[in-house]
Amino acid sequence: MLIRSEKIQVFERLLISAIFLVLLASIAVAADNPIANKKVVARINGVAIFDEELAPLVEKRFLGYRRLGANNNLDQLKRRLQHEELGTLINQELLVQAGAALKLNDLEQRIEKRLHVSAINSKNKIIPEKKLDDQLRMKIRRDVLIDAYMDQKGISTIQIPEQELRLFYEKNPKNFVEPQTIKVRHILVKIPRQATPEKEREADNKAKLILEELKKGRDFAEAAHQYSDCTSKEKGGNLGSITPGFMPKEFDAVAFSLKVGEISGIVKTRHGLHIIRVDEKHPERMKEFPEVKTFIAGYLQKDYQRKKIDELVKELGKTATVEILLDK
């Protein structure tokens, strides 16, 4: 009996050692496998979406809201953004899977072609295979599959009839109003911040002397080049064509009231003292249909595509298995 007991003890020790080795091996495999350590936030037909994809998208939008002044219910805001961005990632995955189901014979060729274009755009004419960015390849692969699915559904090549383009133009006239513009030059005499009364008088006297020279026939561009404290001095004070609101309201009030070729008096703004001359004036006008036809076509095409994609994603979602695994 004693011998039998010793055998059992030896067997138990061997069994425990074997289990310990298996556990060590599984831990090592998990450490070597980056996917094993990633947090899954959703699965679409078994395909995982990881938090590392979602988190940067949420953070970017969250910071945008904070910059706009959002301060209340920040946890609730972040939670909402998580669900919105995750919904976008899920929709993209549904489209990718629909594209993959097409079983493209030339998938790799399409990917390589886009990689080549990407390399040229990034000024790298040759991308060594070993140094190929796997994330870029994966992104391009997904884009190719989505585009293929869009093509198959006829979404990418939709053409909007001219009748619809013209109807949109006629129903939205305010969208095609070109505001009045003036081509203007100025000479700026800066006044230092928190300037003393003496410094302000110096600036005012300088502006008055410049104005006197102009009244006596001095070329405006020459005077701007010599005296102006604005970088536009290198172009003779030319600010180009501007619309209302481009310059401070005090500047606009005078500039848009001047006649072509007329020189203003001294105009004070937060930038300093200005002397203004208007070279050209163009009144507000309604753009003609041929001028905006291409823009309208692009807008309506994108709007149609967005609506059609929403319909397709809803349809794909009906037969998909979608698991949301966000923390509650």
The pLDDT score that the predictor gives to residue 121 is 64
Asked, for residue 172, whether it belongs to a domain, the answer is no
pLDDT in tens, 152-175: 998 888 889 999 999 999 999 999
Whole-number Å distance between alpha carbons of 259 and 251: 15
Asked, for residue 301, whether it belongs to a domain, the answer is no
Asked, for residue 291, whether it belongs to a domain, the answer is no
The pLDDT score that the predictor gives to residue 90 is 95
The pLDDT score that the predictor gives to residue 195 is 80
In this prediction, the residues of the chain whose per-residue pLDDT falls under 50 are 1-4, 7-8, 10-11, 14-15, 18-33, 125-131
CB of 227 within 8 A of CB of 156? Answer: no
Asked, for residue 175, whether it belongs to a domain, the answer is no
Whole-number Å distance between alpha carbons of 85 and 57: 7
Asked, for residue 244, whether it belongs to a domain, the answer is yes
Which tokens hold the place of 114? 């886009």
Tally of domains within the chain: 3
The pLDDT score that the predictor gives to residue 328 is 60
Q: Which domain holds residue 14?
A: 2-35
Asked, for residue 229, whether it belongs to a domain, the answer is yes
Q: Are 97 and 188 members of one domain?
A: no
The pLDDT score that the predictor gives to residue 255 is 96
In 16-151, beta strands by DSSP E: 40-44, 47-50
The pLDDT score that the predictor gives to residue 123 is 55
Whole-number Å distance between alpha carbons of 127 and 118: 10
- Give 263's contacts (C-beta < 8 A, 6+ positions apart): 211, 214, 215, 220, 275, 276, 277
Asked, for residue 303, whether it belongs to a domain, the answer is no
